[in-house]
Structure 1
């Protein structure tokens, strides 16, 4: 009489599969992680002005954005890595002591997105941005130019991990690993080794300008980016 053998690792849930075979099989989850130091920074800036009219506010903002864009060549930043197309204007109101709403000029605002491929020049680039009167550094995202390659590497390692686990389990139960019955689509994720570092607190610039020789340049220690992959596989078993 033939016995039905089904081995399922507790590392994964069988519910991830639409079906499993009616014959002998083993279900495994292969997981892997690949880490890399970021070499690209994506920066988000905001330029804002309040003036007596919307036109004056827009003109002021446009001039400062143009000063910013004109200085990008020094950092070898191509225009395809820059987005500065949007602008918004709106009236600004304040309330008097007797709760009456009064117009207090108009605010114009533009956002700029820049991809910096030479991450070693990050501090110099931030200093430049502030020197041309960019109001806010809203966010900095650290990325890897090898993202797609590292994701593929993680998947490949997860597949290898699944096969190694299946072979080990089969051998432990006196069976031989057979062909692959089914493979579930891999799950991928990207995170930072020591928690989220995909943003930097907003920096606002107010008051008088500080001369560069009076302070030490900032140091930015980026966390490694970890690319994770998981693959669920059902193997046939030969006993």
Structure 2
């Protein structure tokens, strides 16, 4: 009986080995989703620089300058929670002949959702004492609304790629074995230059309001997905 069973088992094993054994196979692909959205929030960084012959005078005048700038900012309906003031910096100026007075500097960061008011805001603070513009950064107030869409697009792209590869390999796409998020982040546009003379910026506001165009923010998501391959 054993002699009769052995050839049959060998034939069954040979037949099985002739079939594509893809049940344990898998394919790993990546996908990326990119969603564009118009920014609805901005952060304006305004510098206040005060120069005076002595350190004490520079500090006193600087406090007055900053107070005027803050008052002008608040006149646009901007609450204190939307205003951040960097630490005070005090240093000595040096000219061709050596020490030449003192300089006090602070940067006031203003967050606002009233993008249309930014040109008027920048022009107005010039009159009140701000004399530098660090830049204007545009962003989204609710980026979570776009993160989910970006993730959906990333997964869809990964699946489409996996289906093409599986078809090319003569197999079918099976279940998801694993999925890893490779990060979801925002790529905001940026306008403005580092430490620009705010008087120059004010001229640009009057001559070219389009200089403060917000552009478009982008939310990017990446995933890596591993799928089971199934023999056809």
Q: Is TM-score (shorter-chain normalized) higher than 0.5?
A: yes
Q: 1:143 & 1:60 partners in 2: Cα distance?
A: 34
Q: Residue in 2 aligned with 1:78?
A: 79
Match of 2:149 in 1: 153
Give 1:231 shift. 0.8
How far did residue 128 of structure 1 move? 1.2
Q: Tell me how far 1:200 sits from its aligned partner.
A: 0.8
Pair 36,79 (structure 1): closer, same or farther in 2 beyond 3 Å: same
Q: 1:233 Cα deviation (Å)?
A: 0.7
SS in 1 for 2:120: helix
Report whether the alignment pairs 1:41 with 2:33. no
Match of 1:118 in 2: 114
TM norm structure 2: 0.79
Q: Deviations over 1:151-189 (max 9, x none)?
A: 232012211222233234434544332221122232334
Per-residue deviation, 1:138: 1.3
Deviation at 1:94, TM superposition (A): 2.6
Larger CA deviation: 106-115 vs 85-94: 85-94
Classify the secondary structure of the residue corresponding to 1:34.
strand
Q: 1:16-43 CA deviation, whole Å, 9 max, x = no partner?
A: xxxxxx9211222122110011111111
Match of 1:176 in 2: 172
**TM-fit CA distance, 1:73:** 3.0
> Aligned residues, how many?
210
Shift of 1:149: 2.2
Structure 1 residue 140: Cα displacement: 0.9
Cα root mean square deviation, aligned: 2.6
Which stretches in structure 2 are left out of the alignment for 5+ residues? 1-16
Q: Distance in 2 between matches of 1:85 and 1:63?
A: 16
Unmatched segments (≥5 aa) in structure 1: 6-21
Q: Which aligned pairs between 1:88-107 and structure 2 lie closer than 5 A?
A: 88-96=89-97, 101=98, 103-107=99-103
Tell me, in whole angstroms, the C-alpha distance in 2 between the residues paired with 1:203 and 1:218.
Answer: 17
- In the superposition, the TM-score normalised over structure 1's length comes to 0.77
* Aligned equivalent of 2:213: 221
Distance of 1:33 and 1:229 partners within structure 2:
7
1:187-202 alignment runs, 5 A limit? 187-191=183-187, 197-201=189-193, 202=195
Counterpart Cα distance in 2 of 1:169 and 1:54: 70
Whether contact under 8 Å (1:51, 1:57) holds in the other structure is: yes
* Residue 109 of structure 1, CA deviation: 0.9
- Correspondence for 1:10: none
Question: Which structure would you say has the larger Rg?
Answer: 2
1:142 corresponds in structure 2 to: 138
**Pair 95,169 (structure 1): closer, same or farther in 2 beyond 3 Å:** closer
Task: Give, in whole Å, the separation in 2 of the partners of 1:52 and 1:124.
Answer: 33
Would you say the 8 A contact 1:44–1:140 is kept in 2? yes
